[in-house]
Amino acid sequence: MSDLLDIPGLPDIPGLLARIGNTPLVPLRNIGRGLPVPVLVKCEHLNPGGSIKDRIALAMVDDAERRGALPAGGTLIEATAGNTGMGLALVAALRGYTLVCVMPEKMSVDKRVALAALGARVIITPNAPPTSADNFRNVAARLAVEHGWFLTDQFRNPSNVTIHQETTGREILAQTGGRVGAFVAGAGTGGTISGVGRTLHDRLPNVRIVLADPIGSGLADWVETGVLGADGSYAVEGIGGSEVPANLHRDVIDAAERVSDEESFAMVRRLWREEGLLVGGSSGTNVVAALRVAARGGLDGPVVTILPDSWDRYRAKPWMAACAID
């Protein structure tokens, strides 16, 4: 569906959905000072819905419309940590769909309130493991079948990876003049690291693709050995996990860095105060890992990482309150 509105007498003025992507890439001028290579951050928190997930929300709906899988005025359902839900809510509002979001109770109340404010129906599930019928992904899949709703299915939908290959990855190549020493990102669905990793590996033989993983997630062990590590708990939202999503492609990942909640949240505070970057918890995880990779040296160019979302969705979280106090 075209998002261009033809207004007589005016030049083409792109609609909101055309403002998704093409985000700025900026250097960490203070936090990254003195390292052998610069650390550059891609400001995905500046997307219209406040996260990197706007990209995949639009891509999955575009793809479903193209395939004729989504009837006009139909209902979308997604299992979401919140950000994909926000992106889908924007797309649903502008394109006339109804949205149902299934979220685990661990996710911040700010995200729930924002989704409900945007008109989505929000279903909260217990923090249940993937084997449980109460797990958020299983609940979403079941409701989709029962009601005939369209499951966007970010964990499996191949357009999640493809859009990062075609947009995020290519933007990074263009913005760095094709010089990237390493790319660092956490994995929730795996779409970002798999898609960007694929595009960079295709163009740059020496680039290193590094997973930033919260301590408590099993994915770092899986990257290193092929076997998932023990399942623990951690407070950073949106990344890590105790199973491997179909959209996380091990063949594009070269290494993993483990980052504690404490390190992540301390870095988020530095990103706010020293760089003016108003971002959420997983940005801290990514930057801690990116600084380690940069400090080790031996790279062909700068380290690039992602700031996946905005701080505004964590206001009710204890870690955010703790960070705000001196």
- The encoded tokens of residue 184 equal 């660092």
What is the phi/psi pair of residue 171, to 5°?
A: -60, -45
User: What is the rounded distance in angstroms from the CA atom of residue 138 to the CA atom of residue 52?
Assistant: 24
In angstroms, give the least distance from the CB of 100 to ligand PMP. Answer: 18
In angstroms, give the least distance from the CB of 56 to ligand PMP. Answer: 7
The strand pair at 25-27 and 39-43 is best described as antiparallel
Nearer to ligand PMP, 32 or 308 (CB): 308
Determine the residue type at 180: V
Contacts of 95 (CB under 8 A, 6+ apart): 1, 61
Q: Residue 94's CB: how many other CB atoms inside 10 A? A: 15
User: What is the rounded distance in angstroms from the CA atom of residue 91 to the CA atom of residue 245?
Assistant: 24
The strand pair at 150-151 and 121-125 is best described as unpaired
Which residue in the block uniquely carries the two structure tokens 């000072």?
33
The strand pair at 303-307 and 39-43 is best described as parallel
Nearer to ligand PMP, 35 or 43 (CB): 43
Nearer to ligand PMP, 35 or 80 (CB): 80
Nearer to ligand PMP, 23 or 189 (CB): 189
**DSSP of 228-275:** ----------SS--SS--TT--GGG--EEEEE-HHHHHHHHHHHHHHH
Nearer to ligand PMP, 238 or 302 (CB): 238
Nearer to ligand PMP, 32 or 190 (CB): 190
In angstroms, give the least distance from the CB of 52 to ligand PMP. Answer: 6
In angstroms, give the least distance from the CB of 192 to ligand PMP. Answer: 3
Among residues 42, 53, 111, 317, which one is catalytic? 53
In angstroms, give the least distance from the CB of 164 to ligand PMP. Answer: 7
User: What is the rounded distance in angstroms from the CA atom of residue 11 to the CA atom of residue 24?
Assistant: 24
Determine the residue type at 266: A
User: What is the rounded distance in angstroms from the CA atom of residue 319 to the CA atom of residue 179?
Assistant: 36
Q: Give the distance, in angstroms, between the CA of residue 156 and the centroid of all CA atoms in the same chain.
A: 15
Binding site for ligand PMP (CB under 6 A): 81, 83, 186-192, 237-239, 280, 282, 308-309
In angstroms, give the least distance from the CB of 81 to ligand PMP. Answer: 5
Q: Would you call 53 a catalytic residue per the annotation?
A: yes
Residue numbers annotated as active site = 53
